[in-house]
Structure formats: structure tokens, C-alpha cells
């Protein structure tokens, strides 16, 4: 329930007060730190936030901003509960299912900087599903083996999709997360911005501070007008004008519920076909910022996810503050039932704003044997590029193959060795490695060699590392991969004589730390 805002003062201000102070001074307001944490296009340890900070404001990194939020929560707990210090508890930190290995590692780093110990990471859609289990002791009567549950999580700034299958294992009903979507920077904030632009059409030209205030007023009005018990058709919107006279310079307008419904259904939740793909805008020169989704149609992103997975869900579970509005839930159900012949059943959970926290607490108990666990593991497959042996040809590199080092769903605390895959590794000098990931290739077995890299595999930034050795030499090695208990990835090169070199996914987008 803590708003993810940080206002840069001495000391920094976190939460509601930071959000309010940012209305008057947006150049000192840090927001969307979690999205920046997952953006591989920047150095997430660098002081880059706020992006629009004026000269003289000392910026901070996405890792530091995340650490400030976590530190605030720890200190607030200890002030309220000195009898049960925060540091004595098992702490679970939730992250988007679309977070890759680097973003997970950065989250753990932020938690460590905030004074956290014994941290466990959990995907947010899974946490929402755990909350549903906790609030429904009869959950086994609501789903059966063979069912497929779609989790739709729409927050303020992001949209996440996940699929959980109901299976049978050793005669018992079991649950397994089988797919996750991409990290889509699209959510309730986009809806609020669209409403603010709509209202601004009937007002004099606004400066940045005024538009930011209008945006916040539209958000509050939207929540009120779309509430389940609302009887109002419109609400007044009043923001301060320019100048010193508060009353005389006030700018007034209204926001109608009918306009909210139109903007939502036409722009964000349009009726689309199941085989439609999100509209990609042509690449152009843009200012520095997050890679926001260019297509605002959430339903089109959902169609792309389900079509790509060839999935036919039987149930849907909603999560996130956007779904507090019955209109949004009903619209999504209408479109899903139009796509599939068999009616889809909505699963009813508890508080949509707190379900991730409730579910994380349940998962903490489940880890101690006091609840049901959803099998999931790593939500994507990882590959290392291996160059083929071929004669040198001017202007052409040898063909590249991809070795599956981390299969989709690899569980925390497990590892693989690949003794039958011998490669030649250059040590004692700088070496470059190419890595790939995929959320679509869920069936690639560990150690399998992909002869041709296709569009289902996303190449990560090239990784350079110095593998320490007394002399420069080429060594025959095999590989080992490990997913630690905290969900981070390690890759080892193992020579026949027992020497080992470890690669860790580093915080910089183009490098890995080597040991």
C-alpha cells in the first residue's frame, strides 16, 4: 500500500508525502523504479533518476531507489513492532514474473542494501494465486485436473500475464506455472494519462506541473466514478492556475463516467481477434526513458500472449488495483468468452490491492510445509551461444548455435551438468559471450543444442569478461548451471584438470563478473 514514489530531499521522502511534494516539484520525484530495475538498456547501478531532474539535483540509481522503499518498510515495521524486530523474520519480496535474472539479482542487492536478510523472491502473479488458495479452502472443488488458469495482473505501470495448470502428481492435485508474458510497461497510469489529456482539451494550455496535478485529480475521479457503489455520472476537476491568486486562477472542468467508459473500451480494452498482435510503432529517435508499450490495447497484448502459447484457459484470476472497477473485469470476461467456445470461469479472491502480500505470506508458510506450493521455477529459458568450427570467410562469422543452460521452469536450488558438451574456452584474456533468452521455448531440454537461432529467442547484450588464468590459453571445458535458492543464476566452466571459472550475471547490461 506504499506508493512507489521517492522525493529527493535530505533525507529522501518516501510514499504518499513524496507523491504530493512531487506535484509542485516533479524534477525531484522518482517513480517507476521497478520498471527501471528491469530495463536492460541502461546501467541500473548508475545515478539516472529522476530522468527530468534539473541541474543541481543529485540523481540516484534504480537500485538505490528500490532500496529506499525497502528500507522505509523495515524501519516502519521496527517502529511499530519493536517486540518482533524485522530482522528476525523470513522476508519475501515479490517481483514481476517477467523479471529476468539480472533484475532479480538487482532486487536482492537492493534488499541487502536496505538491511534485509534471508530474502526469498516470489513472482507477483504466483503470489496472487496463492492468495486465492488462502481465501478459498475449497479450491480443489473449484478447479480440476486439466484446467488452465490465466492470471492477469494490471498494476499502475505494468501488465503481467501468467498461466498455471492443474495437474495430477502421485495421485494428488498439483499446480504448475507453465508460462509468463513479457514485461509490458502499460497499466493504470496510462489510463489516468489518457483521461488527463481528455480533460485538458477543454482547458487553457497547461504547464508540466499543472498537467501532473490534473493527472492525479483524474486518477482519483476515475477510481470514484468506477467504484462498485458509485451513483454519480460526473465529477468536477479543479486545478490551480498560474499566478498568486489561488481562487481567481483556478481552472475548472469535469470528468464524466461515460467518457471514462469510452476511453477504456475503445482505447485500452477494444474488441480484437485472438490472432492479433500489438501494433509496433516504427523505430525513431526518442528521448531517454523507459521502453513503454507503443500499443495501449491491453486486450491485444493478452491475445498475443495466449495465441503465442496456444493456450485455452478455463479460469481467470484478476489482480491489481485496475480490477477494482467491475467495468474492467466484465470487459475482459466478455472478450475472453468471445475468443473461446467454452465459458471461462472467474476465480474470486480477496482484496485486490493486498492479494500479492497475502499470497506471499501464504507462500512463506507453504515453504515450511503449511500450505500448497505452485511449482514454477525460472520463467524463461536461457542459452549460451557457441560458435561452429568453420573455415574463415571474409565478412562472415562462423554460424552460431545455442546451448540450453537453464531450461524453462528450472527450480530454485537445482543445477545441471553437461558432461557430453565439450567446448573450447579462451582464458587469461578478455572473452566475449553471447546469451539468449526465451519465454516461448518451454520444452527445450537442458543441454540441448539449438542448431538455428530463431525469432523466439531474444539475444541479450554481448557479455565481456576476463577469465583469470596465469597464461593465455585455450582450455577444453564443460558447463554447469545453477539456480540458487534466491532465484539468481550461475554458470560455471569446468576444465578437465578441475579448474573452474564462474560467470555471474552482473548489473551492467553488457558485462558479467568472472571469477
CATH superfamily placement of domain 129-185+274-375: ATPase, nucleotide binding domain (3.30.420.40)
**What is the CATH code of the structural domain delimited by 188-268?**
3.90.640.10
Q: What is the mean pLDDT of each run of 10 residues along the chain (515 residues)?
A: 91 92 86 87 91 92 97 97 94 87 88 92 91 93 95 90 90 87 88 94 86 86 92 92 61 95 96 93 70 93 94 95 93 97 90 92 91 83 86 76 91 88 86 87 91 88 77 90 78 90 55 40
Identical fold, 6-117 and 188-268 = no
pTM of the model as a whole = 0.82
CATH number for the 6-117 domain, one of 3.40.50.300, 3.40.50.170, 3.30.420.40, 3.40.1190.20?
3.30.420.40
| CA dihedral sign of residues 344, 349, 352, 353 | negative
pLDDT at 446: 93
β-strands 91-95, 172-180: how paired? unpaired
What Rg value do the Cα atoms of the chain yield, rounded?
25
pLDDT at 376: 77
* pLDDT digit string, tens, across residues 447-505: 999 998 988 898 887 777 788 887 888 899 999 999 877 667 888 999 988 899 887 65
pLDDT at 246: 47
Alpha-carbon gap, residue 192 to 212, rounded angstroms:
10
pLDDT at 471: 81
Please, is 472 exposed, middle or buried when counting C-beta atoms within 10 Å of its C-beta (0-12, 13-18, 19+)? exposed
Backbone angles phi, psi at 176, to 5 degrees: -145, 130
CB 32 within 8 A of CB 62: no
**Helix/strand number for the chain, H first, E second:** 12, 25
pLDDT at 226: 94
Q: Where is 21: in which H helix or E strand?
A: helix 16-24
Alpha-carbon gap, residue 283 to 302, rounded angstroms:
23
The domain ranges of the chain are 6-117, 129-185+274-375, 188-268, 381-514
How is 44-89 classified by DSSP, letter by letter?
TTS--BSTTPPTT---B-HHHHHHHHHHHHHHHHHHH-TTS-GGGS
Q: Tell me how far CA of residue 514 lies from CA of 108, 163, 323, 416, 501, in angstroms.
A: 19, 35, 45, 19, 7
pLDDT at 506: 45
pLDDT at 513: 40
For 252-313, give the secondary structure using H, E and C.
EEEEEHHHHHHHHHHHHCCCCCCCCCCCCCCCCCCCCCCCCCCCCCHHHHHHHHHHHHCCCC
pLDDT at 93: 94
Amino acid at each position: 500500500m506504499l506508493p512507489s514514489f521517492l522525493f529527493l530531499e535530505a533525507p529522501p521522502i518516501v510514499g504518499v508525502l513524496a507523491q504530493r511534494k512531487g506535484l509542485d516539484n516533479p524534477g525531484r520525484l522518482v517513480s517507476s523504479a521497478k520498471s527501471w530495475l528491469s530495463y536492460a538498456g541502461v546501467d541500473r547501478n548508475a545515478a539516472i533518476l529522476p530522468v527530468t531532474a534539473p541541474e543541481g539535483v543529485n540523481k540516484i540509481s534504480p537500485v538505490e531507489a528500490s532500496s529506499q522503499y525497502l528500507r522505509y518498510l523495515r524501519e516502519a515495521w521496527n517502529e511499530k513492532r519493536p517486540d518482533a524486530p524485522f530482522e528476525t523474520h523470513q522476508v519475501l519480496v515479490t517481483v514481476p514474473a517477467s523479471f529476468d535474472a539480472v533484475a532479480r539479482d538487482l532486487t536482492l542487492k537492493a534488499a541487502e542494501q536496505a538491511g534485509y536478510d534471508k530474502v526469498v523472491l516470489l513472482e507477483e502473479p504466483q503470489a496472487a494465486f496463492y492468495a486465492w488458495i488462502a481465501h478459498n479452502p475449497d479450491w480443489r472443488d473449484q478447479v480440476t485436473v486439466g484446467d488452465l488458469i490465466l492470471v492477469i495482473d494490471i498494476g499502475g505501470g505494468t501488465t503481467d500475464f501468467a498461466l498455471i495448470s492443474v495437474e495430477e502428481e502421485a495421485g494428488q492435485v498439483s499446480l504448475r506455472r507453465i508460462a509468463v508474458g513479457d514485461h509490458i510497461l502499460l497499466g493504470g497510469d496510462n489510463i489516468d494519462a489518457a483521461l488527463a489529456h481528455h480533460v485538458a482539451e477543454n482547458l487553457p494550455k497547461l504547464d508540466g506541473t499543472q498537467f501532473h496535478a490534473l493527472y492525479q485529480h483524474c486518477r482519483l475521479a476515475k477510481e470514484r466514478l468506477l467504484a462498485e457503489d458509485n451513483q454519480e455520472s460526473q465529477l468536477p476537476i479543479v486545478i490551480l492556475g498560474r499566478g498568486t491568486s489561488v481562487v481567481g486562477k483556478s481552472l475548472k472542468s469535469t470528468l464524466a463516467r461515460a467518457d471514462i467508459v469510452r476511453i477504456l473500451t475503445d482505447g485500452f480494452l477494444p474488441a480484437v481477434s485472438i490472432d492479433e498482435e500489438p501494433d509496433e510503432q516504427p523505430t525513431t529517435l526518442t528521448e531517454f526513458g523507459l521502453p513503454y508499450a507503443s500499443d495501449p490495447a491491453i486486450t491485444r497484448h493478452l491475445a498475443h500472449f495466449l495465441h503465442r502459447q496456444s493456450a485455452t484457459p478455463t479460469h481467470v484470476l484478476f489482480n491489481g488495483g485496475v480490477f477494482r472497477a467491475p467495468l474492467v473485469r466484465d470487459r475482459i470476461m466478455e472478450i475472453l468468452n468471445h475468443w473461446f467456445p467454452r465459458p471461462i470461469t472467474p476465480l474470486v479472491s480477496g482484496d485486490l490491492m493486498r492479494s500479492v502480500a497475502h499470497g506471499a505470506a501464504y507462500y512463506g508458510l507453504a515453504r515450511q510445509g503449511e500450505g500448497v506450493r505452485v511449482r514454477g521455477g525460472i520463467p524463461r529459458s536461457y542459452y549460451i551461444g557457441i560458435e561452429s568450427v568453420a573455415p574463415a570467410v571474409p565478412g562472415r562469422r562462423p554460424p552460431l548455435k545455442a546451448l540450453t543452460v537453464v531450461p524453462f521452469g528450472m527450480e530454485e536450488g537445482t543445477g545441471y551438468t553437461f558432461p557430453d558438451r565439450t567446448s573450447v574456452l579462451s582464458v587469461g584474456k578478455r572473452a566475449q559471450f553471447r546469451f539468449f533468452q526465451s519465454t516461448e521455448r518451454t520444452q527445450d531440454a537442458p543441454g540441448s543444442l539449438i542448431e538455428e537461432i530463431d525469432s523466439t529467442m531474444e539475444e541479450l547484450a554481448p557479455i565481456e569478461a576476463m577469465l583469470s588464468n596465469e597464461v593465455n590459453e585455450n582450455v577444453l571445458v564443460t558447463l554447469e548451471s545453477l539456480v540458487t535458492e534466491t532465484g539468481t543464476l550461475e554458470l560455471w566452466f569446468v576444465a578437465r584438470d578441475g579448474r573452474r571459472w564462474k560467470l555471474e550475471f552482473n548489473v551492467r547490461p553488457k558485462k558479467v563478473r568472472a571469477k
